[in-house]
Amino acid sequence: MPVNITQVVEEVVTADPCLSYTLTSGLINYSALAIKIRPAVERLYGQSVRVNTIVQSLRRVSRSMTLTDYSVVAQSIASADYHIIQGIRERVFPVTELVEVFSNISKKGLPPESTVIVFVADGLVTLLGDEQVFSVIGKREGDEEFTLLKIVLREAYAGLPGSSAYLAQVLGNNRITPRNIIRRGNQIFVVFRRRDSESLFRAIQTLQQPSPIRETTSN
């Protein structure tokens, strides 16, 4: 997972060739750009982020950023390892309950291979977990089941910015709309509703064919 907001902002900007070029050229209204990318930044960061904070990050990114070779980003996705994890459930609850939930998980313990992903935004916590996680925190009748597409980038691409945002753009251009996309270090989790198995397999087929954004968006 990108560990700070500047890394998240860089991740989002580098996925868009037009934004990258404009930012590196200095011909940009930082406030307008911050407002535009805020939803994507908050989704990847997992928390609400102020516009002024994004503006400051954009200024830092612009000073060190070079134009991205999108063929490399595409190759990082195409050459990754793909894993399908079924039986994932989602629980959304107020952030005030976070300590209690994780206290219960800590007391009962989870096997090392358990899958649990947490992100926070607008005062709510979204927890994605497998059967082992929900056997600890308890199932509810309204819990929806999902399937995770886990994409593990190879070590050479682990620190490459733009991969998850690029992935979102390519899937969108191919009319594939997952529930969410979450990056954690060299791992990207693409969340699909259980009934969207066709979209899941189309996503794998699409992403394993390296195609720079410029070619994808021209269709």
Of 13, 3, 5, 33, residue with least CA distance to 162: 13
Of 179, 202, 187, residue with least CA distance to 150: 187
Query: At residue 27, what is the residue type?
Result: L
Examine the domain organization and report whether 21 and 109 are in the same domain: no
10-residue stretch averages of pLDDT, the chain, 219 residues long: 74 74 74 89 83 92 72 86 91 87 83 82 82 84 85 84 77 84 85 88 86 42
Dihedral angle sign, alpha carbons of residues 30, 169, 183, 159: negative
Looking at 22, 43, 64, the residue that finishes a domain is 64
Domain housing 179 = 69-219
Examine the domain organization and report whether 101 and 158 are in the same domain: yes
144: left (phi over 0), alpha (psi -120 to 50) or beta: beta
Give the CATH number of the domain where residue 126 resides. Answer: 3.30.2130.10
| Secondary structure element (H or E) that encloses residue 35, with its range | helix 30-45
Examine the domain organization and report whether 50 and 138 are in the same domain: no
- For residue 215, the model assigns a pLDDT of 39
Examine the domain organization and report whether 137 and 205 are in the same domain: yes
Of 182, 168, 70, 77, residue with least CA distance to 121: 182
How far is Cα 15 from Cα 185, in angstroms, rounded to an integer?
A: 17
Instruction: Give the pairing type, strands 124-129 and 81-94.
Output: antiparallel
- For residue 216, the model assigns a pLDDT of 36
pTM: 0.66
Examine the domain organization and report whether 129 and 183 are in the same domain: yes
- For residue 52, the model assigns a pLDDT of 94
Three-state DSSP at 72 gives helix
Examine the domain organization and report whether 109 and 181 are in the same domain: yes
Question: CB–CB of 38/49 below 8 Å?
Answer: yes
- Interior CA angle at 74 toward 70 and 77, to 5°? 145
Across the strands, what pairs with 93?
Answer: 125
Examine the domain organization and report whether 43 and 85 are in the same domain: no
Say how far residue 190 (Cα) sits from the centre of its chain: 7
Examine the domain organization and report whether 174 and 114 are in the same domain: yes
- For residue 115, the model assigns a pLDDT of 86
> If you count them, how many residues does the chain have?
219
Of 164, 181, 169, 217, residue with least CA distance to 11: 164
- For residue 41, the model assigns a pLDDT of 87
Query: Scanning the structure block, which residue is given the tokens 């930082």?
Result: 30
